[in-house]
Amino acid sequence: MARRIEPLTLPDLSGKSVVLTGGSDGMGLVMATQLAAAGADLVLPVRNARKGEAAITTIRESAPKATVSLRSLELSSLSSVAALGETLRDEEVPIDIFIGNAGVMNPPARQVTADGFELQFGTDHLGHVALIGHLMPLLRAGRARVTLQVSIAANQGAINWDDLNWERSYDSMAAYSQSKIAYGLFGLKLDRRSKAAGWGITVDLSHPGIAPTNLLAARPEIGRAEPVRWRPLISLFSRLGVLGTVESAAQPALMAATAPGDQGGRFYGPDGFRGLGGKPAEQTLYSRLQSSDEARRVWDVSQELTGVTFPGV
């Protein structure tokens, strides 16, 4: 049987404003529930309002006094991202914690976002880059702790600089790895920029290991009518304790977002064999996330593609 990983005991987050993407199901819902139970004022940007309402019901079953509200967001649309940014800026609530957890994985065939980007690169990376850019005034006002959820896929592959949108030869898993490498490099660059300019924002990365999450389930909206073929094996190894569970997979991002004394630029994941499962702990940064030259290149091209710019240092 699986080794039970106890959920983190979070600090008191009363009065803290938390924005969490991907919080309506799976490990995101686990994060949302723990954050709300710790007293956070939780904002969940969601694509599906029905799922969002169901998530609020689930959260309040565990945390009856939870302060949680929904906002509309489609990360694969830059206009939707901009609209959410405008909505939250108009509300003028400083953001204390931002967790960019939402994502898509392995569509069976190449798809593009509303803006013409390869779906995984456009959603997992560029959509979050644009959202963070639009929220910069609120993040700076709250001296926010930002956590970007990458993946063990960021420990393989590379950024396909000659064909970022995978128009010539599509490899779904390689494109997913690219999106997570780019996302991680951007986050670490943002942390360094913040330190240099005194923005007050700290940025950490996390990864969930491997667990039978909804990323692997049937996803008709991306053309996947059945779960990925290896999900039953992942579920088996999860039950045996070799891999993580949905609950344990949520813990590294929560540690990154709330660990006492964290000053940014750190990487968290499960502490088990090759980071596949286990308790949350600080990790050695993947080699593909260590290049400052690659990070600078990602920083520049991400702003160019999204049209969302960040202040100079």
Phi, psi of 21 (to 5 degrees): -85, 150
Q: Is 276 helix (H, G, I), strand (E, B) or coil?
A: coil
Mark 3-21 as b/e (b = at least 16 C-beta within 10 Å).
Answer: eebebbebeebeebbbbbb
Confirm whether 268 is a catalytic residue.
no
List the catalytic residue out of 176, 183, 268, 286: 176
Q: Which residue is it, tokens 């969302």? A: 308
Give the distance from CA 61 to its chain's centroid: 25
Q: Tell me how crowded residue 223 is: count the other CB atoms within 10 A of its CB.
A: 12
Q: One-letter amino acid identity for 176?
A: Y
DSSP codes of every residue in 181-246: HHHHHHHHHHHHHHHHHT---EEEEE---S---GGGS-BGGGTB-S--TTHHHHHHHHHHTSS--H
CA atoms within 13 A on the CB side of 171: 10
Q: Which residues are catalytic?
A: 176
